[in-house]
Structure 1
Amino acid sequence: MTMHRVGTREQWLAARLELLLKEKELTRRSDAIAQQRQALPWVRIDKEYRFETDNGSALLIDLFKGRSQLLVYHFMFGPEYRAGCPSCSAIADGFNGTVVHLENHDVAFTAVSRAPLVKLQAFKQRMGWSFDWASSSAGDFNGDFSVWFTEDQQREGDIVYNYRREPPAAAITAETVPEGQLRESQAPVALMALMTGTDVATYTRDRPGLSAFVLEDGCVYHTYSSYSRGVDSIWAMYQWLDRAPRGRNEHGIWWRLNDEYGQR
């Protein structure tokens, strides 16, 4: 027998209408926040960032592909990774169907990672993705946009991520989870590191995020960046789970790369 509250259709409708008022309030608040986000001051980009793409070497301005706006997803895939971050990958599973609409609304899109382009291309093929994915390689782009940090920064507490300074990561070591011992009860970060083929310290030097840029009068401006839980709203599966009867119903890291379900 269910432990959840059960009621009549009339009771359900009354409760649903009460919830609807709060949902409408949230929608209006979200609209207001979007307007505030779009009103942020623009910061001109004068540094010459260079990327490797499927079409060869490119500058940041080239990633606009003739459009006036550019959205970048900072995908956790460092040079040492054997596979992309599973969380970033779950988010990226929703990109393909969205990009065509963005591109027809004057918005270009690309993911950017530090791994060599050949690694990104192979993983992209494995996952069945078609969106643009550029390698920032050894350039400053990831560091300047606070999604990659050095070992010294990690050790000395010089990491500022999601607009907050992190304490020194003295406790972060080259901890690994032995192959074949992936268990839900293990530390989430260790599990994620294993899924990418790295240790905890290496895995956590790359971080997720998204950034927005605009091109006006031949100049590129940075307009917005969001990190950590700030990318939840573009993680499509969670928007669906929040509307399912049991919600996110999470106990540890349950998601996998889209071709690995049932393998562990």
Structure 2
Amino acid sequence: MNAYPPVVDADTWLEARLALLAEEKALTAARDALNARRRQLPMVEVTEDYRFQGVDAELGLLEVFEGRRQLIVYHFMFFEARGEGCLGCSSLVDNIGHQAHLHARDTHLVLVSRASQEQLQPFKRRMGWTLPWYSSLGSRFNHDYQVTLDEAVAPVRYNYRDQAELQRLGLDHHLAGEQPGVSVFLRDGTRVYHCYSSYGRGLDLLMGTYNYLDLTPLGRQEGWDGMPDLHGQGMNWTRLHDRYIDPAAPTCCGAAPAAD
């Protein structure tokens, strides 16, 4: 199958581009309206005394804000058995820019994983990351925000779907263990509120690599939605950034995104 778009003259291209531009502008307006509705979501006060282990000390959720008004937590999947982070989560963190821009808007971004600092810090140094990274071991935080799934602790629920619905959709990889997600909190004095959480493909907008690839004719090259799969890897193409040249590097499992 030819993966390339058709070749046309400049006038034909401009006509097609203007038609697409109208759709892009409509999508921008729809996205702005969606963002406004997201900002207007009601909040839930956080009353649980969640504790996190930093590099040198234990902190409460309020202290994780570092005095700022807003906090974004990326729930990072870390696999202690192999001492490495999830490939998709690692790729996402590689795409995070300088925190100064968020700090200018009184907003702080951190990573939280259900793993020990003894394992998180060596991996963080290996990846060259500077983001604050906290351990939630010993806390209900991951379970309460539905990124550690264990029916012995809490009913299984991921991406706002219960166990029965996840099984019906064939999303068995979301039934147990560590999962990715993002949660947003707001601080008002010493009171903290949970404002928003997103999972699954809701995290796509955080992935700069995807957004750049979506501008190209070949897209993400994952073999779905009309994209070619030129490398025969489907969705399982991301690697740790220091492992792309290693053919034996582990792959990240992924399901077709339409139902996720």
CA offsets per residue over residues 104-132 of structure 1, 9 Å max, x none? 21001100000101211110000110011
Contact 1:80 1:115 in 2 (8 A): no
Give TM-score, length-normalised by structure 2.
Answer: 0.83
Distance in 2 between the 1:79 and 1:41 partners?
A: 36
CA offsets 1:48-80 (integer angstroms, 9 cap, x no match): 000011241110000111111000000011443
Q: Secondary structure at the match of 2:182?
A: strand
SS of the equivalent of 1:67 reads coil
- Flag structure 1 segments of 5+ consecutive residues without an equivalent: 171-188, 190-199
CA distance in 2, matches of 1:63, 1:211: 13
Is the partner of 1:35 in helix, strand or coil? helix
State the AA in 1 paired with 2:138: A
Counterparts of 1:58-207 in structure 2, within 5 Å, are: 58-95=59-96, 97-150=97-150, 152=152, 158-167=155-164, 204-207=176-179
Q: Which residue of 1 aligns with 2:257?
A: none
Equivalent of 1:223 in 154, 170, 195: 195
Give the superposition deviation at 1:151: 6.0
* Residue deviations 1:188-213 (CA, integer Å, cap 9, x gap): x9xxxxxxxxxx89x95100000000
Deviations 1:202-238 (A, max 9, x none): x951000000000013200000000011101001110
**Conserved? CA contact 1:78–1:113, under 8 Å:** no
Tell me which moved more, 114-123 or 247-256. Answer: 247-256
- TM-score relative to the length of structure 1: 0.82
- How much has 1:100 moved relative to structure 2? 2.1
Structure 1 position 85, deviation (Å): 0.4
The structure 1 residue matched to 2:208, chosen from 213, 236, 254, is: 236
Q: Deviations over 1:16-74 (max 9, x none)?
A: 01100100110111111011001011100111000011241110000111111000000
Instruction: Classify the secondary structure of the residue corresponding to 1:247.
Output: coil
Instruction: Note if contact 1:151-1:205 (Cα within 8 Å) is conserved in structure 2.
Output: no
Cα distance in 2 for residues equivalent to 1:135 and 1:87 = 19
Cα distance in 2, alignment partners of residues 136 and 23 from structure 1: 40
Counterpart of 2:180 in structure 1 is 208
Name the SS of the counterpart of 2:78 in structure 1: coil
Superposed CA offset, 1:223-255 (max 9, x none): 000001110100111001100111111124011
**Cα distance in 1, alignment partners of residues 199 and 218 from structure 2:** 27
Moved more, 47-56 or 116-125: 47-56
Counterpart CA distance in 1 for 2:28 and 2:75 is 27
Distance 1:169 1:153, change over 3 A: farther
Q: 1:127 to 1:76 in 2, by over 3 A?
A: same
Q: Partner residue of 1:52?
A: 53
**Counterpart AA for 1:160:** R
Name the amino acid aligned to 2:163: E
